[in-house]
Amino acid sequence: MASGDTALSICSDALILLGAAPLSSFTEGSASAQACDRLYPDLRDNMISRYPWSWSLIKLKLNRLVDAPTNEFKYQYQLPGSMLSGVLALFSSSSSSATSLNSGWEIYGESVFTNLEEVYIDYQASIDESKFPPYFVRLLRTAMAAELAVVITDQVSKADYYRSLAVGTQADNGRGGLFREAANIDSRGKPNEIIQDYTLLAVRG
Q: For Cα atoms 34, 83, 107, give the angle at the middle one, nearest 5 degrees.
A: 125
pLDDT, residue 17, reads 97
Compute the mean pLDDT over every residue in the chain, rounded to the nearest whole number: 89
> 23-53, pLDDT tens digit by residue?
999 999 999 999 999 999 999 999 999 999 9
Residue 40 shares a structural domain with residue 68: no
Q: Taking the model in full, what pTM does it have?
A: 0.83
Q: What are phi and psi of 111, to 5 degrees?
A: -130, 155
Reduce the secondary structure of the chain to three states and give it as a string: CCCCCCHHHHHHHHHHHCCCCCCCCCCCCCHHHHHHHHHHHHHHHHHHHCCCCHHHEEEEECEECCCCCCCCCCEEEECCCCEEEEEEEEECCCCCCCCCCCCCEEEECCEEEECCCCCEEEEEECCCHHHCCHHHHHHHHHHHHHHHHHHHHCCHHHHHHHHHHHHCCHHHCCCCHHHHHHHHHHCCCCCHHHHHCCCCCECEC
Look at residue 14 and tell me if it is in a domain: yes
Look at residue 201 and tell me if it is in a domain: no
Look at residue 196 and tell me if it is in a domain: no
Range 149-163 average pLDDT: 95
Range 178-188 average pLDDT: 94
Q: In total, how many domains does the chain have? A: 2
Residue 46 shares a structural domain with residue 146: yes
CA atoms within 13 A on the CB side of 184: 7
Look at residue 131 and tell me if it is in a domain: no
d(CA 129, CA 131): 5
Domain boundary among 75, 100, 125: 125
Residue 66 shares a structural domain with residue 114: yes
* pLDDT grade for 196, boundaries at 50, 70 and 90: very low
Look at residue 165 and tell me if it is in a domain: yes
Residue 44 shares a structural domain with residue 72: no
Q: For Cα atoms 91, 93, 95, give the angle at the middle one, nearest 5 degrees.
A: 110
Look at residue 130 and tell me if it is in a domain: no
d(CA 114, CA 74): 6
Instruction: Tell me: pLDDT of 202 over 90.
Output: no
Residue 100 shares a structural domain with residue 146: no
Residue 62 shares a structural domain with residue 49: no
Domain coverage including residue 36: 7-53+136-190
* pLDDT grade for 97, boundaries at 50, 70 and 90: confident
d(CA 12, CA 14): 5
pLDDT, residue 188, reads 85
